Amino acid sequence: DFAVLSAAGMRELGRVARMLEEHIELPAGLVGNHDKGAVIARHRDSYPVRLMCRALAVAPSGFYAAMARPVSARAARDAALLAKVEAAHAASGERYGAPRVHAELRAQGEAVGRKRVARLMRGAALAGRRPGARHRAVVRRRSLGSRHR
Strand spans (E) along the chain: none
Given a contact cutoff of 8 angstroms between Cβ atoms, the answer to whether 22 and 14 are in contact is no
pLDDT at 58: 83
Q: Provide the pLDDT for residue 1.
A: 41
Q: What is the CA radius of gyration of the chain?
A: 25
Alpha-carbon dihedral angle through residues 101, 85, 119, 73, given to the nearest 10 degrees: 130
**Taking CA 75 as the corner, what is the angle to CA 108 and CA 69, rounded to the nearest 5 degrees?**
155
**CA angle (84 as vertex; 80, 32 as ends), nearest 5:** 50
Q: Distance of CA 23 to CAs 29, 50, 127, Å?
A: 17, 17, 30
62-98 pLDDT, tens per residue? Answer: 999 988 999 889 989 999 999 999 999 999 999 999 9
Closest CA to 128 of 95, 86, 104: 95
Output the pLDDT for position 42: 82
**Which pLDDT score, from 0 to 100, does residue 16 have?**
67
CA–CA distance, 149 with 147 (Å, rounded to integer) = 6
How many H-runs (helices) and E-runs (strands) does the chain carry? Answer: 8, 0
Ranges of residues in the chain with a pLDDT under 50 are 1-3
pLDDT at residue 2 in the model: 47
Q: What is the pLDDT of residue 89?
A: 95
Burial class (CB in 10 A: 0-12, 13-18, 19+), 100: middle
pLDDT at 124: 87
